[in-house]
Structure 1
C-alpha cells in the first residue's frame, strides 16, 4: 500500500475508533453535540459526492435533508412507535425521489444556471412546509414517538442514537469510498475534470450525473431523518438556503475532493459554531457569533486553500522548504 494511502486509512480508522470510545468519557451534552456533528458529517458527505466528486455545485441540498426529516415525522402513525425497518428506508426514498425530479430537470442546465435551478427547487420545498398545514407552518412539528427496532434499538435513548448515528456515518463513508473506486466513481471523476472529453470517449454523462444526484439526495435524506429523531422536532428552517450554504462551507473548509475533508469540515464547522456561541468565552459578543464564524472561515480559506485536510501536506512542504534553504545556506558558507 502507498504510504500516503496508508496514513489516510489510519487517520480514518483512528477517527472512527475515537468516536466509538467517546461516550465512555462524555456527559449527556457532549454525546448530544457529537451526535449532531456526525449527522452534519453525513450531510456533508452527501454534498461531497456532488461537488467534490462530480463537480456539480448544488445549492439546494437542504431540501433533501428537510424532506428526510419531515418524512420521519409525517409518515408514521401517532399512536405507536414506528418501526425503524420501514421508516428509515421510506425517508431516504422520499428524499431520493425528490432528488430524481429535481436532477432530471436541473441537470439539463450548467454553471450558474444549475446552481440557481437547484436553489429554486429547494425554495419551493421550503415554502410548501412553511406556508401550508402539511408541514405545520412556521411552528414546525414535534416527533412524539421515536423509531424502534423491537427491543434491540430504541432511538429515544441518547446512547443508542449515538451508536446508530455512528454506524450510519461509517456505512455512508464506506459506501462512498467504494463508489469512488468503482467504474461509476471513475466516470464521475472524469466528468468533473472534463465532461466534453468523457462524451467524446462514448460516455453518456447525463445518466451518471443523475444517478449521483439521486444517491446524494438519498444520503441527505438519511441525515435529515437522524436530525429529526435527535431533536424530536422539525421546522421549515431545515430546508432554508442558509443550511445549503452551511453544508457547502463545511466541505470547502474540510477540503474539496476528499471524503475525509467532509468529515473534518463538518466537525470543524460545528465546533467553531459552539465556540463562538459560548457566553463563557465571549460574553455578550456571543450573540454575534456569526461574525466570528465568518471571519474564521475566511481566514481558513485564505491560509488553507486545500482545506483542513491539506494542512499536514502544507506544513510538510514548508518544513522541507525551510530545511532545503538552510542546507543551501550551509553549503554557501
Structure 2
C-alpha cells in the first residue's frame, strides 16, 4: 500500500526534491508551502513521477493552518504515514541589525513550524501507534555561525524539542518514531530570496551539496526512522564533531572568516524581494524549483551519506572521524598563520 507523506516547505529546495523521490516510490504526497506557483509545479511533478499529489497552501507558523492541512491530507489519502518538516525562513544579518519582528518571524516558521507540524502528525499517529516524523535539521543546529543568529537559534531549538519528544515516545513505548537529518550547505533557492542586510549577495559556505543529496537522506530516514539522527555530508560530521573538540578555536576561526565566506563578490540589490513575510513565487508567479544558483559548485553525491546507510556503521564513523579531524587540523593551521 502506498504511504501518505506530508512535506512542509515542499515548493522548493530540499522539500521539493524530497517530494519527487517519494513520488517515484508511488507515495501520496501532500505538499505544504505558502507560494501557489511552487506548490502547483511541485504537484505536477509528483503526478508525472507516479505519485498522487495534494497541494495545500499553508503558513506553518499558524498551527490552525497546519491542523487544517493535516485534516485535508487524511481526507484525501487516508492516515498520514510520514511527516517531513522542512519549511524555514531566515535573515542574513548581524543580530544587532535584525528587527525584533523579523527575528520573531524566523523563529515562528523555522522552529514553531516544526513544533506545529510535529503536533499535527503525532496527534494522528499516536492513536494508531505507527508513523514517522522526519525533522530536516542542520549542522548549524550544533555549531552556530555569525550572520545567522535567528536561523541557528531555531535549529538548536528543533534539536532540543525533538530530543524531548523522542524520550516521551520511548517512555510510552510508542510505535511512532521521530528522527533528525542534519544537513550541510545545500544549493537551494533560499539564497536568492532570503532577507539579507549584507553588502553582498548571500551564499552557502562550501562544500555545497545538491538538494537531491539531502532528499535521498530524508527518504531513507523516513523508511528507517529508528536512529536518533542522520548526518548528511562529511562537512556536517566535521562541523558537529569539530565543535565538540575545539569549540573555542572554531569561535575564533568563524569570527575571522564567517562574514566573507557567506557572501559572494556580487554587490547586493537593496530592492530585491524576500520571502520572510510573503512568498516570492506568488508575487512573480514564478516557480523556483529545487535548485539555487550554485549548480556549478555543488556536489551531486556524498560518500559519507552513502556510508551512513551501510549496515555496518563503522564505515560511516571512520569517514566522519577522518573528515572531522582533518577539518579541525586545517582550522588550527589557518589560525596559526
Larger Rg: 1
* Structure with greater strand share of residues: 2
* Structure with greater helix share of residues: 1
TM-score when normalising by structure 1: 0.25
TM-score when normalising by structure 2: 0.25
